[in-house]
Copies of this chain bind each other. A is one copy, B any other.
Amino acid sequence: MPQYPSCPLCDKLHGLQELPDEELVWQFPHSVALLGPWQYHTGYCILVSRVHAVELHHLPPSVRRGYLEEMCLLAQAIDVCFQPRKMNYEALGNQVAHLHWHLFPRRHDDPDALKAVWLGFERAEEDRALKERLQTGPISRTAITARLRACIKNGDRTFEIH
């Protein structure tokens, strides 16, 4: 049973085995990393807390710290794999109030690099070609996930949070 049956992210965590293989990037102790839809921002992941909570300070301290460490670990893996211009971290929850971090690696060649990603996504709602461009990475979703997994798996050898 999902923790909160009416929560779309609880539902998703409960049905991980039904996800396309490339969507489930990594299972951490306190969170699950999913490959996001907007792979123009190549490596974009959503890191979902395993515990249903609305705000970070609702988590027990050890869980919160663990979750934030996993956020940093995943961000560094994305950074190592795709060498973005800048990582963008966002925990909003305005539509789905179950803790999740959006980790958007911003490309060096993004014409909107100085702005938040949401402006482009809003425009994409009315522009099918833009939507397709923003959902498509330079390599396949499967290849993106494979790179991220290899980097996280070999984390202690290939990179360290230092």
Decide yes or no whether A57 CB sits under 8 A from chain B: yes
Contact partners of A126 in chain B: CB under 8 A: none
- Is there contact, CB below 8 Å, between A115 and B115? no
Contacts of A64 in B (CB 8 A): 72, 161
Complex: chain B residue closest to A85, CB-CB: B94
B-chain residues with CB within 8 Å of residue A60 when the two chains form the complex: 162
Q: 12 A-B contacts, Cβ less than 8 Å apart? A: A57-B72, A57-B76, A60-B162, A65-B68, A68-B68, A87-B91, A87-B93, A88-B91, A88-B93, A89-B90, A115-B122, A116-B116
Q: Contact residues of A with B, CB < 8 Å?
A: 54-57, 60-61, 64-65, 68, 72, 75-76, 79, 86-95, 97, 106, 113-116, 118-119, 122, 161-162
